[in-house]
């Protein structure tokens, strides 16, 4: 496929936009590195320091968190790149729903750039980890002994396999069916990446919960399409509610398993808006907003009759 162009030779706004999305976290990384501003982020209004839990542990080379100096800069770089890799993966998975929900067929040509960009960030994330450890042997031992690193490494291998076959010649060599089966592994690999994200955070899992909830919505949309539920407003609103409820259950279940907190307290906290809006509400609200926006767009620009009948 022509770089940044459609097959007709015209510049593709979709491909250009995808490339900008890929380059944005790298540019932000460079800016923050030059400014020396790598400090633990505080997502969605969490109290300062709560987002800087000992997620990477205090294993060899990782350094953990120094009470006086805060997290070491390289550890924060590793986290920063990893967080953006998950975000870019979810954006990649959102291409297919957005293409249909907003009748935007050309959006599909941006998916390869986004997917390769996400795989690139995963690779950079792992490379910085190796640099921080300083020894391949020690890194191998850490990956074997620490379950969250094992999970992350499995996801890395899957993304590497998909990235290495993301070119037209690979489709011909593997055959269409085998290629599709290989690239369908993006779903379990993304789930493993989100689990890896959860296990790094431990104390404040606000953003991992949000990422998990958005992933639930994206997979729920695919299940609806598989069983012929279409993209109607009622179905989309039901999906938004279901994804929000499942997000709350994921958060409560995680705290119950990881910290022993009573899950009913976590569920009740979702209704307390004086502190912050919980990930469950963000997911449900985002799903509802997408449903309403899609309804408006499809009324103004309806799907072709044959394709609409299938949907």
The pLDDT profile of the chain, 311 residues, written as one tens digit per residue, is 677 877 777 888 999 999 999 999 999 999 988 887 665 444 444 434 333 333 333 333 333 443 333 457 888 899 999 999 999 999 999 999 999 999 999 999 999 999 999 999 999 999 999 999 999 999 999 999 999 999 999 999 999 999 999 888 888 888 888 889 999 999 999 999 999 999 988 678 999 999 999 999 999 999 999 888 777 899 999 999 999 999 999 999 999 998 888 999 989 888 887 778 899 999 999 999 999 999 999 998 887 755 555 55
Burial class (CB in 10 A: 0-12, 13-18, 19+), 15: buried
**So what's the pLDDT on residue 63?**
38
Listed residue (61, 86, 82, 84) closest to 72, CA to CA: 61
**So what's the pLDDT on residue 7?**
75
CA angle 98, 103, 104 (to 5 degrees): 70
Q: Does the CA dihedral 209-19-107-228 come out positive or negative?
A: negative
Residues 6+ apart with CB under 8 A from 35: none
Contact call for residues 249 and 209 (beta carbons, < 8 A): no
**So what's the pLDDT on residue 207?**
94
Contact call for residues 1 and 112 (beta carbons, < 8 A): yes
The distance from CA 50 to its chain's CA centroid, rounded to whole angstroms, is: 21
**So what's the pLDDT on residue 164?**
92
């Amino acid at each position: 496929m022509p770089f940044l162009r459609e097959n007709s030779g015209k510049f593709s706004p979709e491909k250009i936009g995808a490339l900008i999305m890929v380059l944005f976290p790298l540019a932000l990384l460079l800016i923050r590195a030059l400014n020396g501003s790598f400090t633990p982020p505080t997502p969605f209004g969490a109290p300062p320091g709560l987002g800087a839990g000992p997620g990477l542990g205090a294993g060899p080379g990782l350094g953990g968190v120094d009470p006086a100096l805060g997290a070491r800069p390289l550890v924060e770089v590793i986290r920063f790149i990893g967080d953006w890799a998950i975000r870019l993966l979810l954006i990649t998975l959102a291409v297919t729903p957005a293409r249909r929900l907003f009748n935007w067929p050309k959006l599909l040509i941006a998916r390869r750039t986004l997917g390769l960009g996400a795989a690139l960030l995963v690779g950079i994330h792992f490379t910085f980890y190796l640099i921080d450890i300083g020894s391949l042997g020690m890194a191998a031992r850490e990956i074997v002994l620490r379950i969250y690193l094992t999970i992350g490494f499995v996801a890395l291998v899957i993304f590497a396999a998909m990235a290495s076959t993301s070119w037209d010649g690979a489709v011909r060599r593997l055959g269409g069916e085998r290629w599709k089966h290989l690239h369908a592994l993006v779903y379990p690999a993304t789930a493993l990446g989100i689990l890896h994200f959860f296990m790094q955070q431990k104390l404040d899992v606000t953003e991992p919960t949000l990422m998990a909830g958005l992933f639930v919505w994206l997979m729920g949309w695919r299940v609806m399409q598989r069983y012929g539920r279409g993209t109607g407003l009622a179905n989309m609103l039901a999906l938004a509610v279901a994804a929000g409820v499942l997000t709350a259950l994921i958060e409560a279940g995680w705290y119950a398993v990881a910290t022993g907190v009573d899950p009913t307290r976590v569920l009740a906290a979702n209704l307390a808006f004086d502190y912050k809006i919980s990930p469950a509400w963000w997911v449900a609200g985002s799903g509802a907003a997408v449903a309403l926006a899609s309804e408006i767009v499809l009324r103004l620009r309806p799907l072709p009759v044959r394709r609409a009948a299938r949907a």
